[in-house]
Structure 1
Amino acid sequence: MWMDKKNDAGDSSRDTRTGWVQKVHLRCMGDMLHLDTLMQDRWWVLQLLLWALRGVARVILANNPISGLLILAALLWASPWQGLLGSVGVLCSTLTAVITGQDKSEVSAGLHGFNGMLVSLLMGVFSSAGDWYWTLLLPVILGSATCVLLFSSLSPLLDRWDLPVAVFPFNITIFLFLLCTRPEHPYFPRHLAVPPGAVQVNATQLDALQVLQGIPLGVGQIYACGSLGPSLLIVGAVMLYSPLLAVHALLGSAIGTLAGLSMGVRPPSLYAGLSGFNGALGCMAVGGLFFTFSWRTHLFAIASAFFSAYMDIALSNLLGTVGLPACSWAATIVATLMLLMNGSLKAYRIPIGQVQSPEQNLRSRNQWEAGRSADQDSTDV
């Protein structure tokens, strides 16, 4: 009798611990909107930190400050200099948005931070002056601020079609910077981009293990991160926000790698994940973020990944002839085209102002359909 009571007490305490862990995990997943309410009356510096962390996560289409913190830790792990540049970029663009009086809801959601972070990271990657070249902070600050101005200018235009500004400001700003610099520039020397289809003199056989390693690296390359450990941490950060989004990120990167193999892309590009990141972005955008997840949108997400990957190869070969990278133009253009499509895909599209995590989008649609069917039943009676 005593043993039964003891076992019951142990089971109940174990259930309590399990329930507490699940509750904490659920509170840390998704958009964590409750954290914005909690921080309303806190110090402004803490609010700025929250906005900046959301901006860090927004680069990979997530909206979770804990995910942003994990991603920032991954960047510092891979390269402290790159982590510093990314932090300066996201803070400068967020502060610029506050100073110029941008919409507070957009600022608090991190929408004015992620373009600035991307610009600063790419400036660091293409700089040939090496790490801790402090002069590079000047274009990082100016480029981050420019992204906010471009975001504000493009928003009224794209809002007419209910389209996101996405990373158009980043792609425009980094292009302008790279066009203004050159390898022998006295202050801002840079590397030239190499076309992925360039013929290698000492070509070797492909290493299957390194090609597979390029799949998670493709997700890390969204942040210009080419290290395996930090890239896996970035995947984990996305999974914390949305397991569905993380699955589509890896699926899209795998599709991009497959597209690179089919087009004979240089092995270093495959190994480093450079063939996968546009496919990952294209797959994530359609596979549950801007469209409610279903088997139809899943197929469209796969198609979007292939389209993004092949367009990235084409643009990279074209722009690489003048030493410029294709950045994320391919995924941005493909996602925009998908959002403009008519037909069966349009029925699953989510208004830009209502986009949440894929799981929450799916839950909201199910509730809406359940309420609609209940209304029809009551009308029939």
Structure 2
Amino acid sequence: MNLELIENDFLVHTHRMASIIWCGAAAGMWMDTKAEETEASRSRASLGQRVLSGLLFFTGDMEHLNKYMQDKVFGLQLAVWGLRGVTRVILANNPLSGALILAALCWASPWQALLGTLGVLTSTLTAVIMGQDGAEVSGGLHGFNGMLVSMLMGVFSSAGDWNWWLLLPASLGSATCVFLYSSLAPVLDRWDLPVAVFPFNISIFLYLLCTGPHNPYFPHHLAKPAGLMEINATKLMAVEVLRGIPLGVGQIFACGALGPSLLILGAVLLYSPLLAAHALLGSAIGTLAAFLSAYADIALSNLMGTIGLPACSWAATVVATLMLLLTGSLSMYRIPIGQVMSPEHNLRSRKQWKAGKTEERESTDV
């Protein structure tokens, strides 16, 4: 009898031990599975972060690229400087956006793309030869005016595309922009104003005045006064109005096709979503209702059209300059020209600046 009790106790203890071992193994397996799931979740999160970081690597001003290009061959550096100059036309500073814009121009008109490339490279090389500030050259500040001059020469030319004679004034006009830029910069710096596209407007005016519509090599179309605005709301189509908004962005590069204009807008979006939103907003306002700059453009078109000259971008340049000269509460939000970067970066910098000022003021309070 005692032997049977001992055997029964042994069996009970054996079952208990087996149950404990099984539970421990199951718990261990659950812990291992949980750990694997957690590790997989972390891996997915880290992968997503790496992808996002990789995408952000190509947005904004891409300052890291400047350090990478310091020891590269001059030809590669010139290409990057030129692409930055392309984007300076739209107030951006991103070489990848510049490549997208050049692709859009090739899509719309290979001849215009060739003229623009010639202009930006000629003006950039001229700035290098003249010994202009290295930071300005590498930032594309001496390229965009030359690009605009070359492209607008092609737009106003009445000889059609592939007029190879036009490459000569395009090169000379682009180089002239560098001289005008270096002359205007010391004057405008007194009021912390950008040179903007003043060189482009001056250079294209001089070219059109010197050649005339009947020049045997460089003829151009005569501009006509805009006249009174014709308001015909009965024929206003919503589709055409919406189509005109992205086309307004493309018109910055004298591009009138919808597809290339959308690609240009995508290049702006790559650099800064805020800048892209403002570009669409400005184009929409100009399309739906003529505000200050649109009225100024009409007035200048009528004035210049009397002598056969286009208004170019004088209206936007003058209005923007006057806005920057405003005093009062609006001037508090102005960023010094030398510190201007992408809108997102400007917002972060201003918040940090305001926070620093607040801490400094609180620390000095008695």
| TM-score range for the pair, normalised by the shorter chain length | 0.7 to 0.9
For the 8 Å contact 1:259–1:310, the answer to whether it is kept is no
Q: How high is the sequence identity, in percent, across the aligned residues?
A: 71
Whole-Å Cα distance in 1 between the matches of residues 364 and 332 of structure 2?
24
Tell me which of 321, 328, 335 is aligned to 1:343. Answer: 328
Offset of 1:53 from its aligned partner? 0.6
Partner of 1:361: 346
Partner of 2:319: 334
Whole-Å Cα distance in 2 between the matches of residues 7 and 240 of structure 1?
35
Offset of 1:198 from its aligned partner? 6.0
Query: Is 1:89–2:74 an aligned residue pair?
Result: no
For the 8 Å contact 1:31–1:356, the answer to whether it is kept is yes
Structure 1 residues 101 and 331: CA distance shift in structure 2, 3 A: same
- Bigger CA radius of gyration: 2
Offset of 1:225 from its aligned partner? 0.7
Partner of 1:266: none
Partner of 1:207: 237
Whole-Å Cα distance in 1 between the matches of residues 321 and 334 of structure 2?
12
Deviations 1:255-275 (A, max 9, x none): 111235xxxxxxxxxxxxxxx
Letter in structure 2 aligned against 1:376: R
Partner of 1:318: 303
Whole-Å Cα distance in 1 between the matches of residues 289 and 306 of structure 2?
21
Offset of 1:341 from its aligned partner? 0.9
Query: Is 1:155–2:140 an aligned residue pair?
Result: no
Tell me which of 143, 158, 166 is aligned to 1:128. Answer: 158
For the 8 Å contact 1:28–1:66, the answer to whether it is kept is yes
Partner of 1:177: 207
For the 8 Å contact 1:216–1:232, the answer to whether it is kept is yes
Structure 1 residues 309 and 344: CA distance shift in structure 2, 3 A: same
Query: Is 1:166–2:166 an aligned residue pair?
Result: no
Query: Is 1:308–2:338 an aligned residue pair?
Result: no
For 2:121, what is the secondary structure of its paired residue? helix
Stretch moving more, 5-14 or 79-88 = 5-14
Structure 2: where are the runs of 5+ without partners? 1-29
Structure 1: where are the runs of 5+ without partners? 261-305
Deviations 1:254-306 (A, max 9, x none): 1111235xxxxxxxxxxxxxxxxxxxxxxxxxxxxxxxxxxxxxxxxxxxxx2
Partner of 1:278: none
Whole-Å Cα distance in 1 between the matches of residues 365 and 211 of structure 2?
69
Partner of 1:30: 60
Offset of 1:183 from its aligned partner? 3.0
Whole-Å Cα distance in 2 between the matches of residues 12 and 19 of structure 1?
10
Partner of 1:189: 219
Partner of 1:300: none
Letter in structure 1 aligned against 2:315: A
Whole-Å Cα distance in 2 between the matches of residues 319 and 379 of structure 1?
57
Partner of 1:70: 100
Query: Is 1:218–2:248 an aligned residue pair?
Result: yes
Structure 1 residues 198 and 379: CA distance shift in structure 2, 3 A: closer
Offset of 1:245 from its aligned partner? 0.9
TM-score of the pair, normalised by structure 2:
0.87
Tell me which of 146, 154, 179 is aligned to 1:116. Answer: 146
Whole-Å Cα distance in 2 between the matches of residues 22 and 122 of structure 1?
39
Partner of 1:57: 87
Whole-Å Cα distance in 1 between the matches of residues 160 and 40 of structure 2?
58
Letter in structure 1 aligned against 2:264: I
Whole-Å Cα distance in 2 between the matches of residues 196 and 210 of structure 1?
21
Q: How many residues align?
A: 335
Whole-Å Cα distance in 2 between the matches of residues 311 and 335 of structure 1?
11
For the 8 Å contact 1:96–1:145, the answer to whether it is kept is yes
Structure 1 residues 204 and 176: CA distance shift in structure 2, 3 A: farther
Whole-Å Cα distance in 1 between the matches of residues 201 and 40 of structure 2?
57
How does 1:236-251 map onto structure 2 within 5 Å?
236-251=266-281
Whole-Å Cα distance in 2 between the matches of residues 332 and 338 of structure 1?
10
For the 8 Å contact 1:75–1:230, the answer to whether it is kept is yes
Offset of 1:204 from its aligned partner? 9.1
For the 8 Å contact 2:241–2:288, the answer to whether it is kept is no
Whole-Å Cα distance in 2 between the matches of residues 67 and 134 of structure 1?
28
Letter in structure 1 aligned against 2:358: S
Whole-Å Cα distance in 1 between the matches of residues 292 and 280 of structure 2?
16
Offset of 1:33 from its aligned partner? 1.1
Offset of 1:4 from its aligned partner? 5.5
For the 8 Å contact 1:112–1:148, the answer to whether it is kept is yes
